[in-house]
Amino acid sequence: MPKKEKLEIEVEVPAKKIHVEHVFCHKGHQLCDPSKKIHGFPAIKLKMRYHGKDGVLFIDPVYGSFDNIEEGVRPPKGGVVELFCPVCGESLKAAGETCQLCSSPMFVCYLPKGGIIEGCSKKGCYYHKVKIVDAEKQVSRLFENDTLQSYL
């Protein structure tokens, strides 16, 4: 038996009530860019590749809102993009994860305190989810919005 039990839960996040503030690639690079704001909050800046062309995707940091900004490439609706950390170039593709709605690959970013956020890499598909991995089992407190915000 593992000493520390890990509890992984998927969280239902009420749309548009909270925003992510600290998002990282798996090497720990901060992806939120204070120089680019959407709805007044720093956007999540990712390198985007579509059909061999490179651009930048700024993701709306407000959960449940999708006013993303594209620069450089403009994939058509339904186009599946590849996403990378703009700092280290690491792929953000979630290994083995596919979208429950459209079966496209998912991308993954990391939140402080062990949470992850996954999203579909197909443009126009808004499937995404937040998972909080809490080794200390303080999860029951999560279901209050203000506590959840502290995980983002």
Q: Which of residues 74-103 bind Zn ion (CB under 5 A)?
A: 85, 87-88, 99, 101-102
x-or-dash string of contact with Zn ion, 8-27, rule CB under 5 A: -----------------x-x
Please give the structure tokens belonging to residue 130: 């937040």
C-alpha to C-alpha distance for 122 and 117, rounded to whole angstroms: 16
C-alpha to C-alpha distance for 119 and 127, rounded to whole angstroms: 6
Compute the least distance from the CB of residue 44 to Zn ion, in Å: 13
C-alpha to C-alpha distance for 83 and 55, rounded to whole angstroms: 10
* DSSP 8-state assignment for residue 64: T
Decide if 134 contacts 143 (C-beta within 8 A).
Answer: no
Decide if 81 contacts 57 (C-beta within 8 A).
Answer: yes
Stretch near Zn ion under the rule CB under 5 A, chosen from 40-48, 57-65, 66-74, 124-132: 124-132
Q: Does the footprint of Zn ion cover residue 124 (CB under 5 A)?
A: no
Q: Which of 120, 132, 148, 152 binds Zn ion (CB under 5 A)?
A: 120
Q: Does the footprint of Zn ion cover residue 29 (CB under 5 A)?
A: yes
Compute the least distance from the CB of residue 87 to Zn ion, in Å: 4
Q: Which residues bind Zn ion (CB under 5 A)?
A: 25, 27, 29, 85, 87-88, 99, 101-102, 104, 120, 122, 125, 127
